């Protein structure tokens, strides 16, 4: 009967999201019908074929929804950085066996796939023991070695791939990333002639900036050959090859003779893992000269305001599989540490925590700026890496923006000191030099 799938879909939508008048978002079906609440809808969920809901919620998990978006079963329009908040609503409405059984029965009555063509999803190919050097290399290259052209379309001019630092919301992404690099250099109290190590240097943005603006010599290490190649070219083009080098090297392979006045690690600790974290700090400690400083800039697991209901927790872990899309398609094998864990491991290695700054509010601004650039260059990016990869990153950037906005994730800079033989830190008595 014509329209049967649409009628069933509307009933399932109400099961999932409640009555239309209680929603702040709109839904558009594959036949063009718009189901919108009174007032202005923040965003619109677009179902592209009769089987879209089945593909999204059978089984009901974060991974299934993410894969359905990659394949083009549904789209998002408007303020899509708000859409990930629907997961909270879904978790609350589905956290019981009875509700899940009713949803499954309803979904099974929808077409299997409709007219949506299958699109191949990117394979990881992880092998070996988790967080072994070889497997970490595979995981890092999966994330970064998509092709340098992909990243140049939506990162800033210096290609900084970590949270920017916005003095105010009028600043451009390029200005905010340069402000972040400068903040790191000032916290490290870099001086001309000093040496700097960047663990997980990406495309060399920090080491190049520090050499240009602060007169240091610098070494960066990464596991991505594509990053090494482009970083070396950018450094050579800037005339800094005599003072700045980039190596393809695991942090575990830092030689005892490789010691530096200052050490930094931006956006890399997330790849380390809980079990190897003590070794990560130990290697950083060994690389830092007595009296030197080590700055870690990284994402932290905060879960501010998350529900502690045991039933909800069981649903989130066993059925919904929270963060499964993130681990499967973005950062395989990553483990986001809690801030106290990092402080503990740093101090166990011999460091002393001297400064801490949470910059969580800066990450949604960064992620939204990245996504805006990604969307502006949609056609070019899809031509370079394919539509599924473009959609993967669009989904990820929007989801992450919501997570940082609502305190599910944080990001912070922790400054550690390695005291010298007399337990001196060589730091000013106050932080006035950072505030001026």
Identify the CATH number of the domain in which residue 22 sits.
Answer: 3.30.1050
pLDDT (0 to 100) of residue 120 = 57
Sort strands 260-266 and 352-358 into parallel, antiparallel or unpaired. unpaired
Residue 37 has pLDDT above 90, yes or no: yes
Say whether both 213 and 69 belong to one domain: no
Residue 96 has pLDDT above 90, yes or no: no
Q: Flag whether 260 is in a domain.
A: yes
Note if the pTM is more than 0.85. Answer: yes
Look up the domain containing 10 and give its range: 4-107
Q: What pLDDT, in 10s, does the model give residues 225-257?
A: 999 999 999 999 999 999 999 999 999 999 999
Q: What pLDDT, in 10s, does the model give residues 383-429?
A: 999 999 999 999 999 999 999 999 999 999 999 999 999 999 989 99
Say whether both 194 and 92 belong to one domain: no
The residues with which 82 forms a beta bridge, in sequence order, are: none
Query: Six-digit token pair at 212?
Result: 């240009």
Query: Six-digit token pair at 370?
Result: 């990245």
Residue 173 has pLDDT above 80, yes or no: yes
pLDDT (0 to 100) of residue 146 = 93
Q: What pLDDT, in 10s, does the model give residues 60-69?
A: 889 999 999 9
pLDDT (0 to 100) of residue 129 = 92
Instruction: Give the span between the Cα atoms of 329 and 168, in whole angstroms.
Output: 32
DSSP 91-148: HHHH-SHHHHHHHHHHHTTS-SSTTPPP-PPPP----SSTT-HHHHHHHHHHHHTT-H
pLDDT (0 to 100) of residue 3 = 65
Q: Which residue has better confidence, 226 or 93?
A: 226
Sort strands 26-28 and 34-35 into parallel, antiparallel or unpaired. antiparallel
Say whether both 143 and 228 belong to one domain: yes
Residue 117 has pLDDT above 60, yes or no: no
pLDDT (0 to 100) of residue 380 = 98
pLDDT (0 to 100) of residue 418 = 98
Say whether both 83 and 20 belong to one domain: yes
Nearest to 4 by CA among 79, 147, 106, 137: 106
Q: Flag whether 406 is in a domain.
A: yes
pLDDT band at 2 (very low <50, low <70, confident <90, very high): very low
Identify the CATH number of the domain in which residue 218 sits.
Answer: 3.40.50.150
Work out the average pLDDT over 128-156: 95
């Amino acid at each position: 009967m014509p329209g049967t799938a649409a009628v069933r879909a509307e009933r399932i939508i109400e099961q999932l999201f409640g009555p239309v008048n209680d929603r702040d978002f709109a839904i558009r079906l594959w036949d063009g019908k718009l189901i919108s609440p009174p007032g202005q809808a923040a965003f619109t969920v677009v179902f592209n074929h009769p089987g879209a809901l089945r593909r999204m919620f059978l089984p009901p998990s974060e991974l299934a929804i993410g894969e359905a978006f990659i394949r083009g079963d549904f789209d998002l329009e408007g303020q899509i950085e708000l859409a990930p908040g629907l997961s909270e609503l879904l978790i609350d409405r589905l956290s019981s066996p009875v509700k899940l059984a009713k949803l499954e029965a309803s979904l099974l009555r929808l077409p299997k796939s409709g007219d949506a063509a299958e699109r191949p999803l990117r394979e990881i190919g992880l092998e070996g023991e988790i967080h072994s050097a070889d497997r970490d290399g595979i995981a890092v290259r999966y994330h970064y070695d998509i092709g340098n052209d992909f990243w140049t379309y939506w990162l800033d001019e210096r290609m900084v791939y970590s949270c920017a630092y916005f003095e105010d919301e009028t600043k451009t992404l390029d200005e905010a990333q340069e402000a972040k690099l400068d903040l790191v250099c000032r916290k490290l109290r870099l001086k001309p002639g000093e040496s700097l190590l960047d663990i997980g240097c990406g495309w060399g943005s920090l080491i190049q900036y520090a050499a240009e603006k602060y007169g240091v010599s610098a070494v960066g290490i990464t596991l991505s050959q594509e990053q090494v190649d482009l970083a070396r070219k950018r450094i050579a083009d800037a005339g800094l090859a005599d003072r700045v080098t980039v190596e393809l090297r695991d942090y575990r392979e830092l030689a005892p003779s490789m010691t530096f006045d200052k050490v930094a690690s931006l956006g890399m600790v997330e790849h380390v893992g809980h079990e190897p974290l003590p070794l990560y700090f130990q290697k950083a400690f060994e690389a830092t000269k007595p009296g030197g400083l080590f700055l870690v800039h990284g994402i932290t697991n905060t879960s501010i305001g998350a529900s502690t209901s045991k039933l909800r927790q069981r649903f989130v872990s066993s059925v919904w599989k929270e963060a499964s899309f993130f681990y499967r398609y973005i950062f395989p094998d990553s483990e986001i540490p809690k801030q106290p864990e990092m402080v503990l491991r740093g101090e166990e290695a011999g460091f002393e925590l001297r400064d801490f700054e949470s910059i969580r509010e800066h990450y949604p601004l960064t992620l939204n700026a990245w996504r805006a650039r990604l969307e502006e260059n949609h056609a070019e990016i899809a031509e370079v890496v394919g539509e599924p990869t473009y959609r993967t990153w669009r989904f990820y950037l929007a989801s992450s923006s919501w997570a940082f906005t609502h305190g599910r994730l944080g990001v912070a800079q922790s400054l550690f000191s390695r005291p010298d033989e007399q337990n001196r830190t060589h730091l000013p008595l106050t932080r006035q030099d950072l505030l001026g």
